[in-house]
Amino acid sequence: MKFDTKVVRASSKPDKTTGSVVPPIYQTATYVLEEVGKDKGFDYTRAANPSRQLLEEHLATIEGAKYGVCFSSGMSAVDSVLKLLKAGDHVVCSDDVYGGVSRHFNQVLVHYNLEFTYVNSSNPDEVKGAIKSNTKLLWIETPTNPLLKITDLNEMNKIAKDNNILFGVDATFSTPVFLRPLEFGADLVMHSTTKYLSGHNQIIGGSIHTSNKEIFDKMKFIQKTIGAVPSPFDCFLTMLGLRTLHLRMQRHNENALAVAEFLESHSKVSRVAFPGLESDPGHKIAKEQMSGFSGMISFELNGGIPAGKHLMNNVELCFLAESLGAVETMITHPATMTHAEVPREERLARGFEDGLVRLSVGIEDPDDLIADLEKAFEKV
């Protein structure tokens, strides 16, 4: 079965009872046992639910994984991965990560005696230099949020295997349409299903995928024990969105390239980050390991924060909003929104300027998006 067909049909079968093409929503907390000690595969929805199981199987299929485990948010998925570690363990992490991840690591998990080192994962030598005797996890985002830096996953896999450490990848920005990290040796892949996978700003969710049975068993135990699971209705909505993922991602990619080329040529823009541009530092590696570049762009304006604020306050089609990966185009000021709790000196040290603008390019007509930005530029 080819990839596009998997996206639509992977685990989707007509309902056995009614023949319904759309899977039913199993909105229940508990299940009646046939007799003592004998159930039909389900006993309590925190442990398992048919709607969630269908989504987990579907996502695993398109990720190229044997197993999938779904959570109530992307952050609960990340947190569950970190529960594979123990006090005293060390994590090497991409320095340009989602602000919620660094906040969780630096303000919560450090109190449980976990240690974190942040590195520019685009530089394998810097990653190697950060490995210590107690390093147990290499956590990579590619492309990163919000600078869209690209990490060579083959290089990361070699470092992880040479040092016998767990290798995890947050591939939220790329989706399985454009990148499947397990093919490059990753032990597990994480997605915020809130973003592209569901694609319509309708749910909060996360998922972990692996082909390692030991990791899967531990993740299922953590899922059941902690209970940070998505509702059956959220799973249903995610499944509906998922079926058009391949089509949406192609349009996101095409639109983002058109908008990025427009921005790169604009006199009021000082820098554009988009892996699909030949001028982008990560373009070569991105082209080698990805089949597309997704729909995220970051850029800086001449004039810094004031210019960026004027732009964001004067767009009309682009929604000024948190989040990304939906059919609507959304514009964000990371320094005061998604990454507000990242210390300024930390941001500046990794090239994350105060005036950076992040654009999640939707699937509208690209000419309309460019016209909207051009009109806003006139007021900058």
Q: Which residue has the tokens 């060579």?
A: 152
Clarify whether residues 69 and 207 are in a common domain.
yes
> Of 218, 242, 266, which one is at a domain's C-terminal end?
242
**Within 13 A of 270's CA, how many CA atoms are on the CB side?**
12
Q: Residues 317, 372: contact at Cβ < 8 Å?
A: yes
**pLDDT tens track for 274-331:** 999 999 999 999 999 999 999 999 999 988 888 888 999 999 999 999 899 999 999 9
User: How far is the C-alpha of 350 from the C-alpha of 122, rounded, in Å?
Assistant: 12
Clarify whether residues 159 and 249 are in a common domain.
no
Clarify whether residues 135 and 169 are in a common domain.
yes
Q: How far lies 235's CA from each of 42, 200, 230, 336, in Å?
A: 16, 13, 7, 31
Clarify whether residues 65 and 10 are in a common domain.
yes
The pLDDT of residue 284: 98
User: How far is the C-alpha of 140 from the C-alpha of 156, rounded, in Å?
Assistant: 9
Query: Active-site residue among 195, 248, 251, 358?
Result: 195
Residues with Cβ within 8 Å of residue 66, at least 6 apart in sequence: 60, 210, 211, 213, 216
Report, in angstroms and rounded to the nearest whole number, the Rg of the chain calculated over CA atoms.
21
User: How far is the C-alpha of 375 from the C-alpha of 84, rounded, in Å?
Assistant: 50
Clarify whether residues 92 and 121 are in a common domain.
yes
Does residue 350 carry a pLDDT above 80? Answer: no
Clarify whether residues 269 and 152 are in a common domain.
no
The pLDDT of residue 305: 81
Core vs surface per residue 246-262: b (16+ CB within 10 A) or e: bebbbbbbbbbbbbbeb
**pLDDT tens track for 236-280:** 999 999 999 999 999 999 999 999 999 999 999 999 999 999 999
The pLDDT of residue 13: 84
Clarify whether residues 86 and 178 are in a common domain.
yes
Average pLDDT score, the chain: 95
Look up 39 and say whether it is catalytic: no
**pLDDT tens track for 134-166:** 999 999 999 999 999 999 999 999 999 999 999
Look up 170 and say whether it is catalytic: yes
Does residue 66 carry a pLDDT above 80? Answer: yes
CATH, residue 283: 3.90.1150.10
> Of 242, 263, 289, which one is at a domain's C-terminal end?
242
Banded pLDDT at 235 (limits 50, 70, 90):
very high
> Of 209, 242, 275, which one is at a domain's C-terminal end?
242
Does residue 349 carry a pLDDT above 80? Answer: no
Clarify whether residues 110 and 214 are in a common domain.
yes
Clarify whether residues 62 and 75 are in a common domain.
yes
Query: Active-site residue among 95, 170, 280, 372?
Result: 170
Domain count for the chain: 2
Banded pLDDT at 333 (limits 50, 70, 90):
confident
**What's the pTM?**
0.95
Q: Residues 222, 333: contact at Cβ < 8 Å?
A: no
Q: How far lies 377's CA from each of 150, 241, 318, 331, 365, in Å?
A: 29, 33, 13, 14, 19
Beta strands of the chain (E only): which ranges?
67-71, 90-94, 115-119, 135-141, 166-170, 188-191, 206-210, 269-273, 296-301, 319-320, 330-332, 357-360
The pLDDT of residue 354: 80
Does residue 56 carry a pLDDT above 80? Answer: yes
Partners of 205 in beta bridges: none
Q: What is the DSSP letter of 182?
A: G
Residues with Cβ within 8 Å of residue 350, at least 6 apart in sequence: 95, 96, 120, 147
Which phi-psi region, left, alpha or beta, contains residue 125 (left: φ > 0; alpha: ψ -120 to 50)?
alpha
CATH, residue 85: 3.40.640.10
Banded pLDDT at 189 (limits 50, 70, 90):
very high
Look up 132 and say whether it is catalytic: no
Q: By residue range, what is the domain housing residue 361?
A: 245-377
Query: Active-site residue among 4, 44, 46, 309?
Result: 46
User: How far is the C-alpha of 153 from the C-alpha of 184, rounded, in Å?
Assistant: 6
The pLDDT of residue 342: 75
The pLDDT of residue 353: 78
DSSP 285-343: HHHHH-S---SEEEEEETTHHHHHHHHHHH-SSSEE-S---SSS-EEE-TTTTTTTTS-
Clarify whether residues 230 and 358 are in a common domain.
no
Query: Mean per-residue pLDDT for 216-240?
Result: 98
